[in-house]
Every structure is written in structure tokens, then in C-alpha cells.
Amino acid sequence: MEEGKLPLNLLDKIIGEVDKLPDSVIQGPQVGADVAVIDFQKAIKRAQKFYQSREKVYLVYKTDPITFPTPNPGKYAVIVNANDVVTSGAIPFGFNATIILPIGSSTKDVFKIQRGIQQECKKNNIIILGGHTEFSSSVFTPIVSGAMLGFVPKDYYVPREINEGDVMLCVGWCAKEGAGIIANEGYKELSKYMGKSLLDMLIKLGKDISVVDIALKINKKIQPELMHDATEGGVIGAVYETMAPSDFG
């Protein structure tokens, strides 16, 4: 494809694959539409129902890009943004994506990214609100920058009050995302030193990085004082980042 925005006929086909919008979205993806419009009162009902709460509801917002080479950048863009949103206790509601592809990328590349976004959003009942796609000589690998909206009732909002003596728990595997990326990108070289079954296991492990379900269940059941989705720095880095906003040093 040549430099510039997505051709309108291709954009129309991509939008045609987006699931039907609920009545909480007044304006969603559409050729010629510049913004998404949300009926806030209807949009918050899912969060209120999940937590069975009648408290006022907070809007939570997050943006995060996928810049590293990955076979499914659309999927991971949804996951990393949803992961951060749920650390506040919020139910992910809507997703926007800005997709920048290198010159020469094909129509197939565009649809692959969009379908990755669509599948992951559908899995977590997240609405695709809109986005932007273009081809640019400024990038050499696809960039997918996502933005996620979520809602959480006041009485289930995280963080709360952290105190000395609180217990810190690590839920899930450490370094799974990094291990998966390294195994996938360096498969040929690593296969000289590691068995195929181990590399395949690491790649599979790296694909399963969503914490949406477990984080929301934990917040609903035990209401932790704090949750954090650490993505780098190992265990020590995760502990430091978790404690950094507090006054405990």
C-alpha cells in the first residue's frame, strides 16, 4: 500500500466486520465519522451489575502501544490496555486503536491486525469504538497504539489504603511475555540449544498474558488494597513499581 490513510473502500470493509454496537454507543466506527459517542448512563450498567453496586461510577482511561515485532499486534494491544484498566478494578468497556503500518504492507496485514483486535475484544465483551489506520515511511514494523475505557463503582475502585504488614502476592507466571517474545523471535537460533517442545511451550505461554478475568474476580471477592500489572524488571522491578506510589520507601 502507498503512504497515507486507508482507502475508503478498504476502511468500509473493515468496519463491516465490527460487531453490532450496543445501545450504550450512540456513534461508533463509520466512514466519515470523526468521534465515538457514548451514553454514559447506559455504559456504566455493566460495571454496576458485575459488582452489584449502587455507588457512583468512575471512568478509567488507559493508552499503551505495541511497538515490538509480534505475530498478533492487534490482540496484544487490546490485552495490555485491558490489563492495566482492570488493576483499578474497572470493567473494560471500549477500545480505540491507531494502526501505523510500513509502506508496502498488504491488505492482508491490515485485516490480520483488525481481526486480532476484534477477536480479543469479543472475548472480553469490549466494544470497538473507532480508530485510525495509515501507512507511513516513518515506521518499519507495524505499530498499534490502543486506548481503553473502563468503569468501576466507587466502592470497588483500587487502590485503597496500603499499610505496613500487608501481604503481597504474585498471581500468574513471571517473565512469561518476555520469554514468549524471545522464543518466537529467536526460534531458529535458540533451537540449536533448546528442544522444540520447550520453545513451543514458551511461545504458547507468552500468548496467554491477559489478567482481565482473574483481576476482576479477585477484586470482587477479596477487594485487595492494590493491584499492579508489571511488564518489565522481573520480580524486584514489580515489587518496586508496586510500592513506588506509597510512602514506605
pLDDT band at 249 (very low <50, low <70, confident <90, very high): low
| 88 plus 208 within the same structural domain | no
Give the pLDDT confidence of 120-156 residue by residue, as tens digits.
999 999 999 999 999 999 999 999 999 999 999 999 9
Provide the 10 A C-beta neighbour count for residue 127.
Answer: 23
CA quadruple 63, 179, 73, 149: dihedral sign: negative
**Domain ranges, residue 75:** 4-156
Q: Tell me the chain's radius of gyration from C-alpha atoms.
A: 20
Please report whether residue 165 resides in a domain: no
Alpha-carbon distances, residue 220 vs 35, 47, 60, 91, 157 (angstroms): 33, 11, 17, 11, 10
Kindly state whether residues 147 and 77 are assigned to the same domain. yes
Residues 123 and 226 both lie in one domain: no
* 86 pLDDT tier (thresholds 50, 70, 90): very high
Q: Are residues 25 and 131 in the same domain?
A: yes
Do 152 and 198 belong to one domain? Answer: no
Cell readout for 166 is 500487608
DSSP code at position 98? E
Which residue has 477479596 as its cell numbers?
222
Q: Does residue 216 fall inside a structural domain?
A: yes
Q: CATH number for the domain including 83? A: 3.30.1330.10
Could you report the per-residue pLDDT of 50-63, keeping only the tens digit for each?
A: 999 999 999 999 99
Q: Is residue 191 part of a domain?
A: yes
**Is residue 166 one of the residues assigned to a domain?**
no
Residue 65 falls inside a structural domain: yes
**DSSP strand E in 20-142: where?**
25-27, 37-38, 57-66, 91-102, 127-136
> What total of structural domains would you count in the chain?
2
